[in-house]
Amino acid sequence: MKSHKRNILITGGAGFIGSHVVRRFVEEYKKYQIYNLDALTYAGNLENLKDIENAPNYSFIKGDITDSEFLKELFSQIEFDGVVHLAAESHVDRSISDPLSFVKTNILGTVNLLNESVALSRKNEGFRFYHVSTDEVYGALGDTGYFLETTAYSPNSPYSASKASSDHFVRAYGETYGLPFVISNCSNNYGPNHFPEKLIPLFINNIIQKRPLPVYGDGNYTRDWLYVIDHARAIDLVFHEGKNGETYNIGGFNEWKNIDLVKLLCQLMNRKLGRPDGASEELITFVKDRPGHDLRYAIDATKINKELGWKPSVTFEKGLDKTIDWYLENQEWLGHVTSGDYKKYYKKQYQH
Ligand code: NAD
Ligand code: TYD
């Protein structure tokens, strides 16, 4: 490790997971200078980082990873010692309405970053490129089995196809140009700062507003949920202690069928909002299924557990409780993020 201050570039740091990663790095590594590069799309919000915005080891850079000239200029000005790449279009339903923007940001944007990183890695020993990816690249499981690091990629949505492609580019740059890299593939996250278009934050918001809870298909789809702060801890570990050229699966050991999770959310929120038992459950509305809907995701996180000693620290019960409280206490945040293009998108999505 270098003796000078290490410059770490985190992309997508104004988003949901990125904001928790930026906060963790800024707080844990006072000797690093953390650069948060984010285009501030509908999903990026600097309010997520208000508490650390004046920290001396934190800098925000507004910029778009699809702009190769901008990245070239940035990398010529700052010699980064590592890149933690989270910037992406991240919502499956949006990828069904508008696949091309996923190709642009997730594939082209990643390749732009890789090009600058290769050049830098040749003069900066110890440089590492970390791609934060998803378990959705593996496709869908049936009722049994788990995704392993060796599971073949079989993406089913434009979102997961774009993430699979960017994973492949990262690996290819390692093989072809000798770029030191590491990749992690994580299951569904939940927690504070989550944009209310994904299942958990959307339904919390809709329950508060007494709006319908649109459950896709019969609701018998299964996801493995991980508290976002545990994911940020895992990212920190993989970045610092993962082996170059390796992939690590990260998961919550916490599978839920959507309909059971929605009923649990309703129960917890009835209690917190002082509503009678069964009140929020009446909002559940079964709607047309998502096309190409993956039946089940489940991660085998043995490798990261055995090699790096990571396991989730927050139980689902506690994590969900903290998450609901956060949304109830941050309704101003909810109001801000749900203005803008959010409503236009929903009109479009319901036309499927
Ligand atoms: P998010 O949508 O909340 O945030 C994405 C961030 O990237 C936003 O701040 C946005 O402004 C920024 N961004 C988008 N396009 C950009 C561009 N062209 N240039 C620069 N910045 C841009 O996403 P998230 O849920 O926090 O996910 C972060 C990463 O983790 C993604 O790569 C995603 O694929 C991966 N991931 C997410 C989950 C999950 O459950 N959310 C699970 C596993 C992996
Ligand atoms: P989501 O949060 O979009 O994450 P992902 O598709 O990346 O897993 O969706 C989680 C699950 O919830 C998925 O099976 C789709 C389902 N779902 C609904 O039933 N209704 C909704 O309104 C949304 C957003 C998701």
For 58-67, 140-149, 183-192, 329-338, which range has the lowest pLDDT when averaged over its residues? 329-338
- How many A from CA of 281 to the centre of ligand 2? 18
Is 261's C-beta closer than 6 angstroms to any atom of ligand 2?
Answer: no
Q: With cut-offs at 50, 70 and 90, classify the pLDDT of residue 351.
A: very low
Q: Which of 38, 135, 167, 197 is labelled catalytic?
A: 135
Q: With cut-offs at 50, 70 and 90, classify the pLDDT of residue 341.
A: low
Residue 290 has pLDDT above 90, yes or no: yes
Q: What is the DSSP letter of 182?
A: E
Give the pLDDT confidence of 118-130 residue by residue, as tens digits.
999 999 999 999 9
For 1-10, 124-133, 149-158, 295-304, which range has the lowest pLDDT when averaged over its residues? 1-10
- How many A from CA of 294 to the centre of ligand 2? 10
Residue 164 has pLDDT above 60, yes or no: yes
Ligand 2: residue whose CA is nearest its atom 14: 221
Q: With cut-offs at 50, 70 and 90, classify the pLDDT of residue 340.
A: low
pLDDT of 4 reads 64
Per-residue tokens: 28: 């844990």
- How many A from CA of 198 to the centre of ligand 2? 6
Q: Specify whether the CB–CB gap between 58 and 26 falls below 8 A.
A: yes
For 42-56, 290-304, 330-344, which range has the lowest pLDDT when averaged over its residues? 330-344
Stretch 139-159: mean pLDDT, rounded? Answer: 98
Give the integer Cα–Cα distance in Å for 267 and 4: 52
Give one DSSP letter per residue of 291-313, joined into a string: TT---B--B--HHHHHHH-----
**Ligand nearest, relative to CA of residue 17:** 1
Give the pLDDT confidence of 18-56 residue by residue, as tens digits.
999 999 999 999 999 999 999 999 999 999 999 999 999
Please state, for a pLDDT cut of 90, what percent of the chain lies above it: 93
pLDDT of 87 reads 99
Give the pLDDT confidence of 59-117 residue by residue, as tens digits.
999 999 999 999 999 999 999 999 999 999 999 999 999 999 999 999 999 999 999 99
Domains, the chain, in order of start with CATH, read 6-190+224-250 (3.40.50.720), 199-222+257-294+315-343 (3.90.25.10)
Q: With cut-offs at 50, 70 and 90, classify the pLDDT of residue 339.
A: confident
Q: Where do we find the tokens 């919550």?
A: 252
Q: With cut-offs at 50, 70 and 90, classify the pLDDT of residue 350.
A: very low
Per the model's pLDDT, the better-predicted residue between 341 and 187 turns out to be: 187
**Residue 76 φ/ψ region, left for φ over 0, alpha for ψ in the -120 to 50 degree band, beta for the rest:** alpha
Q: Which of 130, 159, 221, 297 is labelled catalytic?
A: 159
Give the pLDDT confidence of 166-219 residue by residue, as tens digits.
999 999 999 999 999 999 999 999 999 999 999 999 999 999 999 999 999 999
- Compute, in degrees rounded to 10, the torsion defined by CA atoms 71, 73, 74, 78: 140
Q: Is 159 annotated in the active site?
A: yes
Spatial neighbors of 6 by CB under 8 A, at least 6 apart, are 29, 31, 32, 33, 81, 82
- Residue 190 CA, chain-centre distance (Å), reads 9
Look at residue 225 and give its three-state secondary structure. strand
Please state, for a pLDDT cut of 70, what percent of the chain lies above it: 95
Q: Specify whether the CB–CB gap between 253 and 224 falls below 8 A.
A: yes
pTM value > 0.85: yes
- How many A from CA of 262 to the centre of ligand 2? 11
Give me the chain's average pLDDT, please. 95
Give the integer Cα–Cα distance in Å for 285 and 5: 53
Q: With cut-offs at 50, 70 and 90, classify the pLDDT of residue 345.
A: very low
Is 221's C-beta closer than 6 angstroms to any atom of ligand 2?
Answer: yes
